[in-house]
Structure 1
Amino acid sequence: MPPHPPRLASPHASHASSVLVSAPGKVILFGEHAVVYNKPAIAASLGLRSYAWFRAQPAGVSPSLLRLNLPDIHRTTIEFPLVQLAAVSREYYYALDASDAMLRPSVLLPDAERALEPVLSELPHSAVRPAVLAFLHLFLAICPKLPALNVCVRSELPVGAGLGSSASFSVAVAAGLLALASSHPDIDSEAKEEVDPAWRVNQWAFMAEKVIHGNPSGVDNSLATYGGAKIYSKGQLESLNGFSSLRFLLTDTCVPKNTKRQVEMVRTRKMRFPSVMDLLIDSVENIVKECKAVFRDIAQGTISQAEMVSSMEALIEMNHGVMAACGVSHPSLETVRLVTASHGLQSKLTGAGGGGCALTFLPPGTTRETISAVATQLSANGFKCYETEVGGSGVEVRTQRSVDSGNEEGEQVAVLAAWEEFAARPLVRDGSGGGGGGVDGLNAYFESS
């Protein structure tokens, strides 16, 4: 079925006491490496998601803090005294035009980062610095009133696997802060309602991606915001018309990938064997065009679902074959292909190759027994498997207001129990496709309150 549109907070839903946001990762379906040479690629949202829970600090609690908990990044928990952040906010953020902060973080980041150094120097590990800096930039720019918050961000996405984990983080944080902020000083209430909320989330997330990566394409944050499948070509994105979400088994080979090295390997081969490599790259472009045609035909009703499945299986097999000819496969990826092929399923690398992840198409009707058998065999090779949806929904926001129920103490106990479970329990999905305990507990809490 087509992805749902982003589920965002109402523009009138200010003063929420608690906000839960989730945003998907992304995978490349077709077009790896050819996109470097201005050929189109097809990317889609991934059912593995990041979750961000924002809780307002109860009134009267002192000192006023911004507390950020990142259990999946070196178990980081850090507290920022708001009085310390206020000085940075006044000097570098409050008088900013929103477009400057949103689209050109270079306008303020160097000076603001130096001003934040006393806080950043307390981080337990350098690897967490980009995420924390992006979070602080969003917080200071979107929330000039500096609300006291407890924030916990978790992710089902393996970091560094080419699955858009940083964009998923950025979208979840941006959407949550925008839901909490009643207004931005540079956006009046009328203008606020005229602007598409999803567009605003996407732009702020793109800004955060610039903080983390420097010069991102914008593809990852767009997919994390809007979901679905997109064709990326020469810096432009268009929806893949007719595409409905599909089931895949994602396999993380746990072999570290090096995108820069793989891109350079293809470039070297192209310089040495231009006539051969040009044909291979053109073949990848044609695979993308064929995929686009398949879903166009589905939308027009000129082919059946069975024909779509057959075409997808063939395109997946061909795409991987071309990538292998380009030299970017890996023994671990070939093991995934052999294991899944023995069960009648087609697989391909996704991303740069040389390790990293593989996608296995699960056509409608694939039995639970087959999926379990494949996952067991792949796990025996040291791989991690996730049954997931590709091309599903984008960012989703759920808000919760404080309710005077006469049982504040009981409400606080329930909140803390759900919070502790969310921060501690695994989020990864098990073989049945169900969510981890932390997500289940959090969803149950929001549904009951």
Structure 2
Amino acid sequence: MKKWCDNAALLTLHGNTVGMVSKEFVVSAPGKIILHGEHAVVYGKLAVAAALSLRTTLHIKTIHDKDDVLLHLPDIGVEVGWSVPEIAAAVALPVCDPEKPAPPSEELLQKLKTFASIPHDSADTKTLALVSFLYLYCAIVGSQKTLTPLEIRIESKLPVSAGLGSSAAYSVCLAASLLLHKNLISASGKWSEKDLQLINAWAFQAEKVIHGKPSGIDNSVSTYGHAVSFTKGSEPVILSQVPSIRILLVNTKVPRSTKTLVESVKKKYDKSTVVMSAVMDTMEAVAKECLILFEKMYKGKADEYYKQLEELIYINQQQLDIIGVSHIALEKVIQITKANGLCSKLTGAGGGGCAFALIRPDVPKETLDCVIQQLSLEGFDCWETGIGAEGVTLHV
């Protein structure tokens, strides 16, 4: 397999003529974090998610010396290549209109799995990520009945399977780069609402291949960036006026099953509906208050509102503990951060997974270093990062 070229000059966009783009460029997209409303959203309540500063980056270039498409995913140890003529022979091109995103038919999905030597009943997200790539490659690049040999390398700062939107960032990067390769979105990188909608819609199709029935929240956050508010059954509301806020993100590395946790909360809800409804209402009130504070922070002196943000984090964590989705590892994170003057909560399904602590502007570096050291000694991974990041981006 041909080695990826590390020459930075080859990994930038080179505009030659209006409407034309070279076939070598870099795009990136952020991960996501649920700030407030996890679990409550299942019961029709408002939740808030934000884009992380941790990003996935995709390098793409056209291959001229062989008729292959190569995909490098070093973070998960995957290096694969397929013959372009063999892909074209296995799939009837064109698959669909690339400007009208649609999911693959069951027949096409099984053909792609067979071609990639992936079991038809596989639920492994890492292997299904390869199938999602093949689908987007055929649907977008093969729209004119021909496929271009490409080499793609995707690297990420996001941990995999941690509830931080790593697959969505992967999908968004793929969608944007392939659409750009086919000149279906602006070559300038200053993407219109129509461009972003097309990227988001294709990323959602990729997410369907990987996860089956995704909510669409993760790919929306990764596409548009900043933050979104959402309720079950409604389109996400993009929030562009979001303050830049620093957080300490902590991965306990404790595996958990979202499905099992959701089911356990449902049992409690069915048993004590009145009480659990009140808890869900409280979590929604926290999410709504968070949006009000974000607006105030964006327009005024942000430092004034950090104490109120901490209060919301504390209240939400208490509610999550009440519904039984905390974990001894998450409680250890909360204990260590609290002892050092920080406020934290779990994010996502709970039962392990990740938590985050708000970093106020007045927190000394020495304190933060001490917290990170203590958490690391517990075996946890830590990232000092931020929320409110830009969405999918073309790097010129």
Question: Is the 8 Å Cα contact of residues 372 and 382 (structure 2) preserved in structure 1?
Answer: yes
Match of 2:329 in 1: 332
Deviations 1:193-229 (A, max 9, x none): 9872222111110111111112211110011011001
Partners in 1 of 2:330 and 2:110 — Cα distance? 43
* Correspondence for 2:293: 294
Q: Which residue of 1 aligns with 2:158?
A: 157
Asked whether 1:318 is paired with 2:321, we answer no
Comparing 380-389 with 290-299, greater Cα deviation is found at 290-299
Q: Residue in 2 aligned with 1:79?
A: 81
Q: Deviations over 1:257-304 (max 9, x none)?
A: 211111111111111122221111111011112112223334564xx4
Aligned twin of 2:130: 132
Q: Is the 8 A contact 2:112 2:135 kept in 1?
A: no
| Structural mapping, 1:259-408, within 5 Å | 259-299=258-298, 301=300, 304-398=301-395
What is the rounded CA distance, in whole Å, between the counterparts of 1:122 and 1:352 in structure 2? 29
Deviation at 1:44, TM superposition (A): 0.4
- Cα distance between partner residues in 2 of 1:96 and 1:161: 33
Contact 2:283 2:319 in 1 (8 A): yes
Who is 1:182 aligned against?
183
What corresponds to 2:10 in structure 1? Answer: none
- What SS does the corresponding residue of 2:236 show, helix, strand or coil? strand
Equivalent position SS for 2:75: coil
Preserved contact between residue 66 and residue 149 of structure 1 (Cα < 8 Å): yes
Q: Which moved more, 1:380-389 or 1:174-183?
A: 174-183
| 2:125 and 2:211 in contact (8 A); partners too | no
Matched, 1:65 2:61: no
Do 1:240 and 1:295's aligned partners in 2 also have CA atoms closer than 8 Å? no
1:244 aligned residue:
243
1:46 equivalenced with 2:52 (yes/no):
yes
Q: Which amino acid aligns with 1:230?
A: V
Partner residue, 2:96? 96
Change (3 A) 1:95 1:336: closer
Return closer, same or farther for 1:122/1:77 CA change in 2, 3 Å cut-off: farther
Letter in 1 for 2:42: V
Which residue pairs with 1:258 in the alignment? 257
Corresponding residue of 2:167: 166
Structure-2 separation of matches of 1:195 and 1:230: 16
Aligned partners of 2:226 and 2:391 also within 8 Å: yes
Match of 1:438 in 2: none
Shift of 1:9: 10
- Whether the 8 Å CA contact 2:95–2:138 is kept in 1: the answer is no
Residue aligned with 2:242, SS: coil
CA positional deviation for 1:87: 2.2
Q: Deviations over 1:94-152 (max 9, x none)?
A: 1623365x13x14x3x22233334531179x9553210111011111111231111111
Structure 1 counterpart of 2:115: 119
Letter in 1 for 2:260: R
Give the AA of the match of 1:269: K
Cα distance, 1:242 vs structure 2:
4.1
Counterpart amino acid of 1:66? V
Q: Which letter does structure 2 place at the counterpart of 1:94? A: P
Q: Does the CA-based 8 Å contact 1:80-1:119 persist in structure 2?
A: no
CA spacing shift, 1:122–1:276, aligned 2, 3 Å: closer
Summarize deviations over 1:2-49 as a string: whole Å, max 9, x none. xxxxxx999955342312111111000011110000000000011111
| Residue 236 (structure 1) shift | 2.3
- 8 Å contact 1:71–1:153 — kept in the other structure? yes
What corresponds to 1:435 in structure 2? none
CA contact (8 A) 2:112 2:134 kept: no
Q: What's the TM-score, normalizing by structure 2? A: 0.88
> Helix, strand or coil: the match of 2:25?
strand
- Does the CA contact (< 8 Å) of 1:14 and 1:179 recur in 2? no
Question: Using the alignment, how far apart are the partners of 2:260 and 2:225 within structure 1?
Answer: 29
What CA distance in whole angstroms lies between the structure 2 residues aligned with 1:195 and 1:366? 38
Percent identity among equivalent residues?
39
Query: Number of residue pairs matched?
Result: 373
Residue 53 of structure 1 aligns to a residue whose secondary structure is strand
Which segments of 5 or more consecutive residues in structure 1 lack a partner in the other structure? 1-7, 400-449
TM-score scaled by length of structure 1: 0.78
Q: Give 3-state SS (helix, strand or coil) of 1:283's partner.
A: helix
Structure-to-structure mapping, 1:23-38, within 5 angstroms: 23-38=29-44
Amino acid at match of 2:85: V
Instruction: State the Cα distance separating 1:246 from its structure 2 match.
Output: 0.7
Cα distance in structure 2, aligned partners of 1:305 and 1:96: 47
Please state whether the residue corresponding to 2:164 is helix, strand or coil: coil
Determine the structure 2 residue equivalent to 1:198: 196
Question: What is the distance in 2 between the residues matched to 1:177 and 1:299?
Answer: 34
Deviation at 1:85, TM superposition (A): 1.3
**Residue 229 (structure 2) aligns with:** 231
Give the distance between the partners of 2:337 and 2:14, measured in 1 at CA.
Answer: 41
Q: Distance in 1 between matches of 2:193 and 2:53?
A: 27
